[in-house]
Structure 1
Amino acid sequence: MSTSLKDQLLKAGLVKKKDVQKTAKKKAPSVPKKARNKASEATLRAQRAMLDKAKKDKALNEKRKAEAERKARYAQIKQLVDGGKLDRKKGETAFNFPFKKKIKTIYVTDEQHKLLSKQQVTIISMDNELFEIVPKKVAEQVAKREPQRIINISSSSDTPSANDPYADYEIPDDLIW
């Protein structure tokens, strides 16, 4: 009983066979070629915009992820340093060291100065103007996370050059410069 509407109309005599054939030949109104091109151009632009947005979103997500990882590393380093730093509150002796092509000064106790001279403790840069003294074990843990925070206080004069006139002279450990 699934006869089509046109068959039912023919049986009822409401339409003639010629009319049914005419309507079968007629197609839906076709879209002009220019309109089809405009529509395809619009869809291409929309697709490009979606791809650009996806790329921007991906780059933003990667940037946020990198920032979150950096903050997590800083928190770990801060926790390590806070747990192992040496107390410098009673420090009266100035200790100078190179940092980013400048000479920085921190005040330490006499014992801490000796330890720094013998390189038994290390200076860690928390921020550009905040420095802490930590034991070698803590410095090694920090170096695993961010090696640029470790300040190398050994001078380059440990290995004398060939034309250094003072190569034969030993530098005393208690020298304060």
Structure 2
Amino acid sequence: MAKSLQEQLLKAGLVDQKKAKQLKQEKRKQAKQTPKGHQVEDETKLRAQQAREEKAQRDREMNRLRQEEADRKALKAQVKQLIEMNRINRNKGEVGYQFADEGKVKKIYVTQELQDGLASGRFAIARMGDAYEVISRKVAEKIRERAPEFVVVLNDNKNAEPDEDDPYAAYQIPDDLMW
């Protein structure tokens, strides 16, 4: 009962016998002109292939972005864990230590020993969310290698040589200056 499309069109009267023969001959000629083993590629096949390639490219880009985001989250988690595991207890310090963070002056209370360590560079201050924690210099350097934006204060304990032309060279600022 299955009839070809050509037979169905003839029966419906949409195509006459002469036009059907002509189309059949053109199809046969086109088949003979193409060498054996080669197929004529349709534009639709080419478009479909291009669409697949473009989709694959977009997918690769999205995967790369997702991987970068996952790497950033993992790095942030590592830094947070380093700070939590190595923070130094401030023992309800009574001495205020002020420092600048993002253009604002912040203040935490530490012991006198911690203040001296912060001034000399033995300790550092790291940002953890909205809070600040005192950590050792070694841990601060590890954090700075991974994500420098978490280390707020890390003083260099090297004494910088003043410039010869500096008019204030005779007026050195002490490391433990409170302001």
- TM-score bracket, normalised by the shorter chain, equals 0.5 to 0.7
Question: What is the CA-CA distance between 1:154 and the residue it aligns to?
Answer: 3.6
1:119 Cα deviation after fit? 1.0
Q: Is the 8 A contact 1:81 1:134 kept in 2?
A: yes
Percent of residue pairs identical: 39
Q: Give the whole-Å Cα distance in 2 for the aligned partners of 1:28 and 1:88.
A: 95
| 4+ aligned runs moved over 4 Å, structure 1 | none
What SS does the aligned partner of 1:30 have?
A: helix
Counterpart residue number, 1:133: 134
Q: Which amino acid aligns with 1:30?
A: K
Query: What does residue 59 of structure 1 align with?
Result: 61
Cα shift readout 1:132-155 (whole Å, capped 9, x = no counterpart): 110112223223322332234448
Give the 5 Å matches for 1:39-78: 40-78=42-80
Deviates most, 163-172 or 108-117:
163-172
Equivalent-residue separation in structure 2 for 1:28 and 1:120 (angstroms): 92
Quote the Cα distance in structure 1 between the aligned partners of 2:142 and 2:49. Answer: 48
Q: Which region of structure 1 is more displaced relative to structure 2, 87-96 or 158-167?
A: 158-167
Counterpart of 1:23 in structure 2 is none
Is 1:176 matched with 2:178?
yes
Contact 1:121 1:134 in 2 (8 A): yes
Structure 1: 5+ residue stretches without partners:
1-26, 34-38
Q: What does the per-residue CA deviation read over 1:24-66, in whole Å, with 9 as the maximum and x for residues that have no partner?
A: xxx78729x9xxxxx8332232222212211111111111111
- TM-score between the two structures when normalised by the length of structure 1: 0.65
Structure 2: distance between partners of 1:159 and 1:40: 76
Give secondary structure in 1 for the equivalent of 2:83.
helix
Which has the larger Rg? Answer: 1
Counterparts of 1:62 and 1:132, CA distance in 2: 34
Number of residue pairs matched by the alignment: 144
Q: Is the 8 A contact 1:96 1:103 kept in 2?
A: yes
Q: Is the 8 A contact 2:125 2:132 kept in 1?
A: yes
Which among 95, 98, 101 is matched to residue 96 of structure 1? Answer: 98
TM-score, normalised via structure 2 length = 0.65
